């Protein structure tokens, strides 16, 4: 079964509130570096930029099409704030989290690892 996962900077096991706070204050890395790291793990991923968010926010998106699928939320300074993964297995999420030094959250169970 494929679940959706969120990957952010932070420490696992501290609870979702603490993880959300650290995710909003830290960044994953520069968008080019994050895309390159993911592409090394999943060479079939094809990247395209998405539209800016409505409502005056200055965040933008990059989408990684393939299997798994990725969405990068990018701050105006080019730093990735958060990654979401879908159409994936937990083992694939663990590979990305380990490679980028991130914490993953299973969006269905709210378990972090």
Question: Per mean pLDDT, which range of 10-19, 23-32, 73-82, 93-102 is the poorest?
Answer: 10-19
Tokens of 100: 């980028």
Most confident of 11-15, 103-107, 108-112: 103-107
As a whole number of angstroms, the distance between CA 41 and CA 16 comes to 27
Q: Give the three-class secondary structure for 64.
A: strand
Q: What are the CA-CA distances from residue 31 to residues 25, 61, 90 (Å)?
A: 17, 10, 23
Q: Which domain holds residue 55?
A: 3-106
Tokens of 29: 């890395």
Using one digit for the tens of pLDDT, what is the confidence trace for 76-91?
899 999 999 999 999 9
User: What CATH number does residue 95 fall under?
Assistant: 3.30.160
The answer to whether residue 111 is domain-embedded is no
The answer to whether residue 8 is domain-embedded is yes
For residue 24, the model assigns a pLDDT of 73
The answer to whether residue 113 is domain-embedded is no
The answer to whether residue 68 is domain-embedded is yes
Residue ranges of alpha helices (H) inside the chain are 16-25, 31-41, 90-100
Using one digit for the tens of pLDDT, what is the confidence trace for 39-73?
999 999 999 987 655 555 567 888 888 889 999 99
How many domains in the chain?
1
């Amino acid at each position: 079964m494929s679940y959706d996962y969120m990957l952010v900077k932070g420490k696992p096991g501290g609870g979702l509130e603490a993880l959300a706070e650290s995710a909003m204050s830290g960044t994953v890395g520069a968008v080019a570096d994050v895309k390159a790291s993911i592409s090394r793990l999943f060479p079939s991923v094809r990247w395209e930029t998405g539209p800016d968010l409505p409502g005056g926010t200055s965040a933008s998106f990059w989408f990684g099409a393939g299997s798994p699928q990725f969405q990068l939320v990018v701050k105006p300074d080019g730093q990735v704030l958060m990654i979401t993964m879908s159409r994936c297995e937990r083992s694939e999420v663990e590979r990305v989290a380990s490679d980028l030094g991130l914490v993953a959250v299973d969006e269905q169970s709210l378990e972090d690892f």
